[in-house]
A and B are shown apart, each in its own frame.
Chain A
Amino acid sequence: MLRTRAPGFVPFLAAALLTTACRSRSENASAAVLASPAPGTVSPGKESAGKEQYFPLQSYRVGPYAAGGSGFFGGFIDYMQLVNIRDGGVNGIKLTWSECETEYVVERGVECYERLKGGLNGAPAAAMNPLSVGIAYALIDKATTDKIPLITINHGRTDSTDGRVFPYVFPLSLNPYSEISAIVNYIGQRSGGLDHLRGKKIAVLYHGSPYGKETQPIVELLAQKYGFASTHLEVPHPGTEQESQWLQIKKLAPDWIILRGWGIMNPVALKNAAKIGYPVDHIIGNIWSNSEEDVIPAGAAATGFIAITTHPSGRQFPVLQDVDKYVLSAGKGNMTDPKRVGTGYYNLGINNGILNVEAVRVAQAKFGNKPLTGEQVRWGFEHIHIDDARLKELGAVGLLQPIELSCSDHEGGGAVRFEQWDGKEFKVISDWIKADRALLRPIIEASSTKYATEKGIAVRDCDAEARL
C-alpha cells in the first residue's frame, strides 16, 4: 500500500522557479520586494533610490576561507560606511552594497555576478570585487562584455596588468610577478646586494593550483639573471600533509624559502619547518601567506616568520582611527569580533575600499556628481593618481602605497613592505621595496598579446584614447 503524503517539493520547486524568474525580470520593481537589503546601509529608504552608488559584494563567510573573507569584506564595508557617515558619501552620493555568498566556489560567484550586476534599487554597480582567482577568471569575459570593472587586488591574471588587452580587469597594487620580484630584491638586500645572490639556493613551496604555479617562469628567469639555484616543491591541495616536501627541503638545505600558500597550507608549512628544524625567519610568505589567520594556528612555530604585505596590520593609521571614531563607536562596524579590526585581511579590505572609492571620486570629477555606470568608473580607475600628498589626505600613509594607474597599467603599484610575526602581531621591518617592473613588463605584454590573438581581441590604443 502506498503511504503517500503531499509531496511538498513540487510546489516548492515551482515557487523557486517563479522566484528566480520574477526576481530577475526587472531590476527595479520586484527587486524592491525580493532584493537582498543592504545590511547596515546608512542611507534611508525609497527617496534616495537612484541617488546611490552600488557595490555588489561576492563575499565568502562560509567554508575553508571564511576567516579571510569575513575580514576582507568586513574592512571594505566598514570603509564604505565611514565614507557615508563621515563624508556624507562621495560628493553627496551615498554608497550602498549587498552581499552574495559564494563560499569561494566559482559557479556561485558567477551566479552572484549575474544576479547583482544590474544594480540595486536603481543604484548602478560600480565594480566587482570577488577576491577569488577562480571566480575572477570566470568573470573576465562577462565583466568585459557588461562593462563593469573587475577588481582583483593583489592577485588575478598577471597579464591583466596590460589594460590594453584587458580593459576591465584590474590587478590593483600587486600582481603575482611583482610579488616574486620584490621578494627576490629583499633577499638580495638581506644578503648584502643582489650580486651576492649568486650561488645561493632558494626553494619555492607552492600550493598545487594555478595560483601556486603562476610565478614559476619568473622565478626561473630571476634565478638565471642573478645566478641562484631555484627549486620548486608542490604541496597538494589543501596542504594538510607536507612532510615529504619538508623532508626534501631538509635534504636540499636552501638559504631561503618562498612560501606561496593559501588557507590551511600556511600554518602547516610553519609547523613542518619547526619539525625539521628549519629557521623560520628564513621563510618569506607571499601576499596570501601573510595574515594573522595564517600564523596563529602554528603557535610558537610561527615566531620570526617574515611575510610581504601591501597593507600592514595595525590600528594606528589615521584612516583606521577614523573608522574607530565614526563607525565602530556608533555600533555600525561589520566585524563580529572587534579585535579583528586592524588585522591583515581587514586592512586589505580598507585599502580596497580606498581604491574603489577613489575611482568613483576621480570619475565623478569628469562625469559629474551622480551615480556612475561601470564604464565611467572604469575611466576613474584608469586615472587614479595617489601620491604621498593624497595618501596623507586619505589618512593611509604607510598603509597604502603610492599608486598610479593608467590605460596600459592596471597594477599601478608593485611595491611591498616586509613584516615579521613576533608571536602576538606583525611588525613592519622594512620600507616599500619595489619590484623590477621594467623587467617584467615585456613578459606580461608577450602573454597578453598572445591572449589577444587567441581570443580575437583588438588591442586598445591608449594614446588615441588619451587624446579624446
Chain B
Amino acid sequence: MSFFIEVLLGGLLSGVMYTMVAIGFVLIYKASGVFNFAQGAMVLFAALTFVSLTERGFAFPLAFIATLAAMLLLALAIERIVLRPLVNAPPLSLFLATLGLAYILEGLAQTLWGTQVHGLDIGVSDAPISAAGVSVSRFDLFAAGTAATLVATLALFFRLTRSGVALRAVADDPLAAIAVGIDLRRLLALVWGVAGVVALVAGLLWGARVGVQFSLSLVVLKALPVLIIGGFSSIPGAIVGGLIVGASEKLAEVYAGPWVNGGIETWFPYFIALAFLLVRPAGLFGERSVQRV
C-alpha cells in the first residue's frame, strides 16, 4: 500500500511540474487566443541565460533579476516583431508562427550561450524525506511549494491589479475591451512578459531537475495533455489537468506498464485526455464554443 502511495505522490508532484509549464500557455491563450508553442523554447532560453550568468560569476539574485529583465525585453520584442504583423491571422497560422518563434529562440539561446550542458543547483537536494513508510524527494516538495506560490501570486495579480483586471476583460471579449479604451498592444506585451516570468521559474525548477540543455525545451510536450484536459484558457484547469496527468501516467507505467514491457508514459496521457474530451469536448474548465451559422 505504501508503494502505491509513493507512486501516487510522486505522480502528483510531477504533475505540478507539468502545470507550471502549462500555465505559461494558458496565460497567453487566455489573452490573445494564440497557442504558444514557443513556451518550451522560452523555458530553455530563461534557464540557459540564468545558468550562464551564474557561471560567469553573477550572484544568484542578480542573475535572477538580469534574466527577468531579459525575458521582459524578449516579450516586448515578440509582441512587436511577431504578433503585430500577424494580428488578424487565423489561429493555425499563429500556432505555426510560434513554432517558427521556437526555432528562433532555440537558435538564439545557443548562439548566445553555446551548446554545452550545464548543471543547475538551486540549493535544494534530492535526498528523500521519509514518513510512515513513504518517502518523497525534498526537491519535489520544494517545486510543488514554489508552483503553489506562483499560482497564488498570479491569482492575486489577476484579481487585484488594474492590469490583471484588464487581462480578464480582454480574455472575455477583446472588442469590448478595446471599446472601453484598454490598450491591447501594451497588454499583450504584458501577458507575454508574465508568461516569460513563468517560463523563468519553470526553467529554474526543471533545469535543476534535469539539467540545462537543449532537450529542456521538450517539456512542452508534457504540458499538452495537461492543457487538453484542463482547457486551454483556465488556470484551475491547468492545475487539475496537471495532477490528473501526473498521477495517471505514473500509476499506469508502474502497474500496467510491465504487462507490455513498459514505456507507455509517452502516449497514455493523450488517451486520458481523449477520454476526457469525449465527455467534455472543450476540456474540463475550457470555454464551450457555440456553433452558429
Contacts and interface: CB of A to CB of B under 8 A. Distances in A.
Interface of A: 61-64, 66-67, 70, 208, 232-238, 240-241, 243-245, 247-248, 251, 263-264, 267-268, 271, 274-277, 293, 296-301, 336-337, 340
B113 to A, nearest CB: 12
B128 interface: yes
Nearest to B255: A244
B214 interface: yes
Contacts of A234: 261-263
A66 B3 CA distance: 39
A245 B262 contact: yes
Contact of B10 (A247, A274, A298): A247
A338 to B, nearest CB: 13
Interface stretch (B30-38, B148-156, B204-212, B285-293): B204-212
Nearest to A264: B215
Interface string B108-152: 001000111111110001111000000101011000000000000
Contacts of B253: 244-245
Interface in B193-215: 209-215
B3 A244 contact: no
Interface of B: 3, 6-7, 10-11, 14, 107, 110, 114-121, 125-128, 135, 137, 139-140, 209-216, 218-219, 222, 249-250, 253-254, 257-258, 261-263, 265-266
A340 B11 CA distance: 38
Contact of B214 (A63, A237, A268): A63
The list of the 6 closest CB pairs from A to B, nearest first, reads: A297-B211, A244-B253, A66-B115, A264-B215, A234-B262, A275-B137
Nearest to B206: A240
B218 A240 contact: yes
Nearest to A263: B215
A233 B137 CA distance: 21
A244 B250 contact: yes
Q: SS class of chain A's interface: helix, strand, loop or mixed?
A: helix
Contact of A271 (B7, B110, B117, B126): B126
A71 to B, nearest CB: 9
B135 A296 contact: no
B16 to A, nearest CB: 13
A106 B213 CA distance: 21
B115 A70 contact: yes
A67 B116 contact: yes
Contacts of B249: 244
Given A241-B222, A296-B118, A275 B212 contact: no
Given A241-B222, A264-B215, A296 B265 contact: no
B7 A247 contact: yes
Given A66-B110, A297-B119, A298-B119, A236 B215 contact: no
A418 B191 CA distance: 52
Residue among B117, B125, B126, B139 with most chain A CB within 10 A:
B117
A70 B114 CA distance: 11
A103 to B, nearest CB: 10
